[in-house]
Structure 1
């Protein structure tokens, strides 16, 4: 039996602990990027129901994605294989998402296919994985996509800066990211783009205090 879902709240999800030496590619997702996914993909395209659907975030780290998800969705099940001090400690590749509606996560790069297969076969409704666009390539991913064609691939028009072990509010990157989404019993549709300007529009005044390390507290953006 799964432990109770964590309630939304808390003024900060940052942790003073360092990334474990054997951690699996912990690259925190900027909170604005999750909000953009929710507004432009999860709600209008995937049809997630905010008040009833249970969303699973199985690579939650310090809560950088789970907390923004909780701003919209009532039920969010957050876990990670490492004890970051947020969510349950669980190995998703062992536990899966039985009884849960959706999996939305930024998986370890080298375990993305395993996360996809486990999520596709255990969720009730569907899956969304945030991945580098380079993840779309290779024979292994091709086999996954042939066996399980994605419902939609949603590309960010602007770049989403991610840094190992921390979120940097004013960080930059040359890496491109997208969401690969599966919806059970739905016909694939054309790729889509999350419009530019989301970083400025969806960054909130308290994000740096909630999600960044103490050394990275300068604010980015200015929205409440």
Structure 2
């Protein structure tokens, strides 16, 4: 079973994380201080760590930098009430793999964990093709096709489609798309994501074929095999 370590000093937040991730079939251990958290984190016994930025005894950033200095590559989702861009960048530069601001939606937290777990188990060099039903994306030639017909994708459309296909069956939130495709400095208040999803749908989900991209109201988007 996949093991998650949650290092969080706020009991309410910790119980929320544990309950949500446990409902996804993950085994979650919780510690409420940085010193014990660091000892467990460097053990290498966990597949992923959710890490509060501000902790008693040992700070979250210190845990990240210590782990990376020791060559421990366990994926880390940093969670913090410090939500400004500079703090986010500082956490990622220290070695965090993703950064989530408090307060957060439990389903988005779980979605980010699922994505990080998949990233930590990337396709092998022999695997050069992503497939969802009859949709194919060649990672070497960067060419896409649906039902054997080539698709003419713009660079951003390709990046968006690759992100969706690498996480097929997983709900991807708008914020996750914004961060992955456009970066942290893009204004998420615009409709650019909706525009690009709309353009992508026109290309891969024409009226003659069963749609693969679904909108999950209030959550985000998912690409998956037809039900």
Q: Name the one with the larger helix percent.
A: 2
Q: TM class by shorter-chain length?
A: 0.3 to 0.5
Higher relative contact order by CA 8 Å / sep ≥ 6: 1 or 2?
A: 1
Tell me the TM-score normalised to structure 2 length: 0.35
Structure with bigger gyration radius? 2
